[in-house]
Structure 1
Amino acid sequence: MSTTAKEQGSTRVSRRRDRRKAEIVRTATLVLAEAGYLGMSLEDVAEKTDIAKATLYHYFSSKDDLVAAALESLTQEVLRRLQEREEAVGQSSARDLLAALIDEQVLILTETAPEVAAAFSWPRSWPESFEAPMKDMRRRHDAVFRRVVERGVAEGEFHLSDINVTLQCLHGILNQSSVWLRPGAYHGDQAEARARIVESALRMFG
């Protein structure tokens, strides 16, 4: 077999492995969102992925390794969505950009990826080893909104007594939106409801 053929074969194997790994992570994310950390088991993930439990260990060394991958995948997806929304808005005022980001975050939590809210809503069940990684995930998420808010303050568009407190309140509103508009619980116009949440949240920024 030529070197090129070997490389192509290796690449195909690598792609299959990456696809299977991503599939396992997606399944683990759904199980985690439904059952929480304590209720999640590798047996459930293996069964729902239609693979043997032993096969999981070819990809992840432990339950915590798999959970960490699932949480990081969720974080990356949220950050990607927020970046795309920011790019779609283009040149705009800090207020308009913040409104778009708030709307996108609520959309993620309530419609397009409600598993994000569910997976991060089990604070008491997480082992101590996840404290630092989850803190870093929240920091990266906060940075997206903080950058816009700091710009608004610098340009005189926002008037805040304490940026940190205001951002904490904003995150509280965003997190609570997943309860207010959770799938199956809210039967009104979702877009209109999001618009009301965005409008209310923006009042904190003056």
Structure 2
Amino acid sequence: MYATFSALKKYGYAELSIQRIASELNFSKSTLYHHFSDKDDLLLSFFNFLLDELEQFCKSSSTNEPKKELLDFVDVLLDEGITQKEQSAKGEILAAYIELRSQAIHDTKYRERITRTDKRFVKQIAVIIDAGIDKGVFQPVEPEETAEFILAILNGILMQGSTRKRAPFQQLRQNLIEYIQTELFVESATRS
């Protein structure tokens, strides 16, 4: 999968080919065709791998501090490395995620997989929000609706950060954090 990732970074989706991936591996194309029916089959397998990795990055261990857990989730997805200037390992994974996510527009297999991942993220955020409400540190909101909204904003910021030359990435990230603090956190919880 690393060779696919490396070739995708070098060539982008449109210019990617089985030959270029095989070259990254120093294998022949026939070796790849033995395991995958075509480029799309290989890229879908890579996309599944990528989403599994992204889900692992975002998995929160319950700290019994919902406020911290939610802000940590935001920090994981909004890694500064997503910007073009400095690509951290996490940033490169997020950039590949955005590039392959766009395939869901036309391909139901990608759409089904991204839908599954989005549902997991919404559930994870909703569980954090629900715990925050129970502990009295979050406003009494509808957890799933709020989680959907937060994930939509996160995805929008990721799209801006990975596709614009000079996206106001830090400003957008800070705006989301301020929204969470003012609209979701209970007043006394924002001071701690």
Alignment of structure 1 residues 48-127 onto 2, 5 Å: 48-83=24-59, 86-87=60-61, 91-107=63-79, 110=82, 111=87, 112=91, 113=93, 114-125=95-106, 127=107
**Where does residue 189 of structure 2 map in the other structure?**
none
Q: Is the 8 A contact 1:30 1:115 kept in 2?
A: yes
Sort the Cα spacing of 1:141 and 1:43 in 2 relative to 1 into closer, same or farther, 3 A: farther
Shift of 1:48: 4.3
Q: Is the 8 A contact 1:82 1:104 kept in 2?
A: yes
4+ residue stretches of structure 1 with deviation over 4 A?
187-190
Q: Is the 8 A contact 2:103 2:110 kept in 1?
A: no
Percent identity of the aligned residues? 17
Can you give the 5+ residue segments of structure 1 that lack an aligned partner in the other structure? 1-21
Q: What is the number of residues matched between the two proteins?
A: 176
Q: What are the Cα deviations for residues 52-71 of structure 1, in whole angstroms up to 9, with x where unaligned?
A: 21111233233343122211
Compute the RMSD of aligned alpha carbons: 3.2
Q: Is the 8 A contact 1:99 1:198 kept in 2?
A: yes
Q: Is 2:154 aligned against 1:154? A: no
Shift of 1:176: 1.4
TM-score between both structures, scaled by the size of structure 1: 0.67
Sort the Cα spacing of 1:194 and 1:92 in 2 relative to 1 into closer, same or farther, 3 A: farther
Q: What are the Cα deviations for residues 85-116 of structure 1, in whole angstroms up to 9, with x where unaligned?
A: x45xx735211210111111111772523222
Q: What are the Cα deviations for residues 21-46 of structure 1, in whole angstroms up to 9, with x where unaligned?
A: x33342465479x326xx65423433
TM-score between both structures, scaled by the size of structure 2: 0.71
Which residue type is aligned with residue 46 of structure 1? A
Cα distance in 2, alignment partners of residues 186 and 201 from structure 1: 24
Q: What are the Cα deviations for residues 138-192 of structure 1, in whole angstroms up to 9, with x where unaligned?
A: 22233322221221122232224432321221111111112443377338795x7
Cα distance in 2, alignment partners of residues 28 and 95 from structure 1: 39
**Where does residue 200 of structure 1 map in the other structure?**
179
Cα distance in 1, alignment partners of residues 109 and 167 from structure 2: 39
Which residue type is aligned with residue 100 of structure 1? D
Shift of 1:135: 1.9
Sort the Cα spacing of 1:55 and 1:187 in 2 relative to 1 into closer, same or farther, 3 A: same
Cα distance in 1, alignment partners of residues 151 and 7 from structure 2: 25
**Where does residue 188 of structure 2 map in the other structure?**
none
Can you give the 5+ residue segments of structure 2 that lack an aligned partner in the other structure? 186-192
Q: Using CA pairs below 8 Å that are at least 6 residues apart, which structure has the higher relative contact order?
A: 1
Which structure's CA Rg is the greater one? Answer: 1
Alignment of structure 1 residues 25-64 onto 2, 5 Å: 25-27=4-6, 29-30=8-9, 34-35=12-13, 40-64=16-40
Which residue type is aligned with residue 136 of structure 1? R
